[in-house]
A and B are shown apart, each in its own frame.
Chain A
Amino acid sequence: MGSFKLGKMTFKSLFGKPETIQYPAEQKTPPPGLKGHVVNDVESCILCGICMKRCPCAAIEVDKPARTWSINRFRCVQCGTCVRECPKQCLTMEPTYTPPATEKRMDSYEVPERAKPAKKAASAEERIEWERAAQGLEER
């Protein structure tokens, strides 16, 4: 029996360096693997729509005719499924969080039309992509 068993720790925290930081003024550097927000490298995106299909919370919208790739930042749960499933590895997870906002919004990316090098090569590439997409569909 006895009291003040926490004495050592209490004195340490009285005179030691504080554990906390002065948040808005001072910010923690996020570790490299942090799941912050999804970024699309539009240069290599082929608008296949696999990310849209795999997303558990329907946050991603791929509009093929309009060539846009959009994500609802406030629906996304940062699970990373789209990043893993992307056949072109054009999606990445950046280690910074979406900043707070007053309303939910969609972030839309314009995917530029890619110049197809030669007819033959393009069709071969396309075929591979289609096969991959078809495989993905068959698995489902």
Chain B
Amino acid sequence: MTLETTFVPLTVEGLPALAAAKKADGWRFVQILAVNTEEGIDLIYSFMKGNLLENCEIKAVQKDAVVPSITDQFLEAFVFENETHDLFGVNIQGIAIDFGGNFYALAQKEPMTIISPEQKAAREKARKVAEAKAAKEKATKAAAANAAYEAGHPTPKEPGEPIVPTGDDDAELKLAGADPEKVARARAAIAAKAKKAAEAEKDAALKEKLAGMDPEKAAKVRAAMEAKAAREAAAAQKEGE
């Protein structure tokens, strides 16, 4: 016997019927939880029977929406319903033992709905990564379209848009999401890598490579190289002292 978890969508209207059905079917109430999202508050009701753990999700409950209580079926849910009301501000009506917002002694109302700066940063980072991904996809699509165009026309135009090595691309993607300080440091590290490669292939080869790269990227690598050179110079100076 192993634990099987399922996530099932649910609506506010369907909640009382679901609770009654679960009760009649001999399911055991497990918990209610809330997740604060940008669209609203997600409520998850969990029930268990044997090794099945079913989580019924109500997506994006709005501030003014009224959620019926399930304490008429499962009395033990009063703890969670009061908690959800106090911490998330979900308006749950008809709780068997209703503390009216005094279940938790809190310094601040609905503390779990406040978006912390860290959470905001995390969300923005996720969005940036998603955007970067979309942009990359778009670029590859454009390149493909370009190739198709070139194949379709006997006299191709100037060889623009070269193929960018995927490894570096990934690093850039990650950079897009990181914070500026990290970006600077990671960029310096990448520059160090780039320089190592350059030493092996000699400067001329590097220049050729840079010329072959797209201008923005080349500029970035160059800037990073300069930074590295400056850093080394500074280190040398320090040593001199």
Q: Which of A103-135 contact B (CB under 8 A)?
A: 116, 119, 123, 127, 130-131, 133-134
Q: Cα distance A133–B186 when bound, in Å?
A: 8
Q: Which of B184-199 contact A (CB under 8 A)?
A: 185-186, 188-190, 192-193, 196
Contact in complex: A137, B192 (CB < 8 Å): no
CB of A26 within 8 A of chain B?
A: no
Q: Residues of A contacting B178 with CB < 8 Å?
A: 137, 140
CB distance from B68 to the nearest CB of A (A): 40
Q: Cα distance A122–B229 when bound, in Å?
A: 15
Q: Residues of B contacting A19 with CB < 8 Å?
A: none
Classify chain B: how many residues form its interface, as a range. Answer: 10 to 19
Contact in complex: A137, B186 (CB < 8 Å): yes
Q: Residues of A contacting B239 with CB < 8 Å?
A: 116
Contact in complex: A131, B185 (CB < 8 Å): no
Contact in complex: A131, B186 (CB < 8 Å): no
Q: Which of B157-201 contact A (CB under 8 A)?
A: 171, 174, 178, 182, 185-186, 188-190, 192-193, 196
Q: Cα distance A137–B178 when bound, in Å?
A: 9
CB of B232 within 8 A of chain A?
A: yes
Q: Cα distance A121–B21 when bound, in Å?
A: 73
Q: Which chain B residue shows the least CB distance to A138? A: B174
Q: Cα distance A23–B236 when bound, in Å?
A: 57
Q: Residues of A contacting B189 with CB < 8 Å?
A: 130-131, 133-134, 137
Q: Cα distance A137–B185 when bound, in Å?
A: 9
Q: Which chain A residue shows the least CB distance to B183? A: A137
Q: Is the interface of A mostly helix, strand, loop or mixed?
A: helix
Q: Cα distance A22–B239 when bound, in Å?
A: 57
Q: Which chain A residue shows the least CB distance to B182? A: A137
Contact in complex: B185, A133 (CB < 8 Å): yes
Given contacts A127-B192, A127-B196, contact A134 B174 (CB under 8 A): no
Q: Residues of B contacting A116 with CB < 8 Å?
A: 239
Contact in complex: B186, A134 (CB < 8 Å): yes
1/0 per residue, CB under 8 A from A, across B16-43: the answer is 0000000000000000000000000000
Contact in complex: A130, B192 (CB < 8 Å): yes
Q: Cα distance A98–B239 when bound, in Å?
A: 38
A131, A138, A140: the one contacting B192 at CB < 8 Å is A131
Q: Which chain A residue shows the least CB distance to B190? A: A134
Q: Residues of B contacting A119 with CB < 8 Å?
A: 236
CB distance from A71 to the nearest CB of B (A): 22
CB distance from A84 to the nearest CB of B (A): 21
CB distance from A51 to the nearest CB of B (A): 16
Q: Residues of A contacting B186 with CB < 8 Å?
A: 134, 137-138
1/0 per residue, CB under 8 A from B, across A85-108: the answer is 000000000000000000000000
Q: Residues of B contacting A131 with CB < 8 Å?
A: 189, 192-193
Q: List 22 A-B contacts (CB under 8 A).
A: A116-B239, A119-B236, A127-B192, A127-B196, A130-B189, A130-B192, A131-B189, A131-B192, A131-B193, A133-B185, A133-B189, A134-B185, A134-B186, A134-B193, A137-B178, A137-B182, A137-B185, A137-B186, A137-B189, A138-B174, A140-B178, A140-B182
Of all A-B residue pairs in the complex, the 7 with the closest CB atoms, nearest first, are A134-B189, A130-B189, A137-B186, A134-B186, A130-B192, A127-B192, A137-B182
4 additional contacts (CB under 8 A) given A127-B192, A130-B189, A138-B174: A116-B239, A130-B188, A130-B192, A134-B185
Interface residues of A (CB under 8 A from B): 116, 119, 123, 127, 130-131, 133-134, 137-138, 140
